[in-house]
Amino acid sequence: MTAKTQTSQSERFETAFNRIHKALMQTIKNAKSDKFIELVNKGKSHAFIRYYEHDLCQFAKLRNALVHEKIHEGYYIAEPHENIVDKIEKIADEFEKPDSALSVATKPVYFFQEDDSLSEVLDIIKKHAHSRFPIYNKDGKYSWLLTSGQIVQYLADNFSDQKLTINSVKIKELFNTKYKHNVIFVSQNSTIFEVEDIFEEYYNKNKKIEGVLITKTGSPSEQPNGIITSRDMLGVEFSD
């Protein structure tokens, strides 16, 4: 193999490594250092970084060996295997273009107006087993989140009254100030990384997010295109 080919593959590896390093610096918030390994350790709250942690650490070792042992600019004493170069370039591509939050969201989102009947919600639960429903006011703006737990509690508290029927109950009657669900809105252009940061931020504050609602621009006045819960984030998977 010629020295030119060796240099080409080594340069490809170093270029891809630098792309990943730059993406890490842009992705990891509040990092105390911009060192590659420290960014990887800090960023393990992201499923994507956890998945590639071993590879990233091995890349860092190889990069140090290549760069520190470089004889002169453009000439490396060692050559990465072609499979390694292909892999680091693939990972660099994924870091620079992470999956959208919408790609892991539950879709479609079933949402209702406050004056809609509870029976409509129960029909959706029966057909689709959904458990969270954004409720909008008459002006078309998000108002609160109705959960299946609230519905069960309402039925338990009220249906000893034989005069009460499901069809007569309006959704607004289930609103209860003791249920304060944290719901965050993001735009449909948001990435998985951004949503994971939101969940981590609330976790560090010892607060729970009931859901992240995705709308076109992230406005509560827009209809939801998807909803992400902590369970959805646990289901994020990456493959070689």
* CATH code of residue 168: 3.10.580.10
Residue 206 CB contacts under 8 Å (≥ 6 apart), including other chains: none
Cα gap 56→239, rounded to integer Å: 15
Query: How does pLDDT run along the chain (240 residues), one tens digit per residue?
Result: 444 444 478 889 999 999 999 999 999 988 889 999 999 999 988 989 999 999 999 999 999 888 776 555 555 566 889 999 999 999 999 999 998 999 989 999 999 999 999 999 999 999 998 999 999 999 999 999 999 999 999 988 887 766 667 888 999 999 988 888 999 999 999 999 999 999 989 988 999 999 999 999 999 999 999 999 988 887 665 544
Cα gap 42→33, rounded to integer Å: 9
| Residue type for position 145 | L
Residues spanned by the domain of 82: 3-95
- Indicate if 218 and 142 belong to the same structural domain: yes
Task: Give the total number of structural domains in the chain.
Answer: 2
Residue 222 CB contacts under 8 Å (≥ 6 apart), including other chains: 215, 216
- Indicate if 110 and 222 belong to the same structural domain: yes
Domain boundary among 95, 116, 148: 95
- Indicate if 62 and 177 belong to the same structural domain: no
Cα gap 213→104, rounded to integer Å: 12
- Indicate if 162 and 208 belong to the same structural domain: yes
End-to-end Cα, the chain, rounded Å: 28
- Indicate if 39 and 135 belong to the same structural domain: no
pTM over 0.95: no
Q: Is residue 60 part of a domain?
A: yes
What pLDDT score does 1 carry?
45
Q: Is residue 39 part of a domain?
A: yes
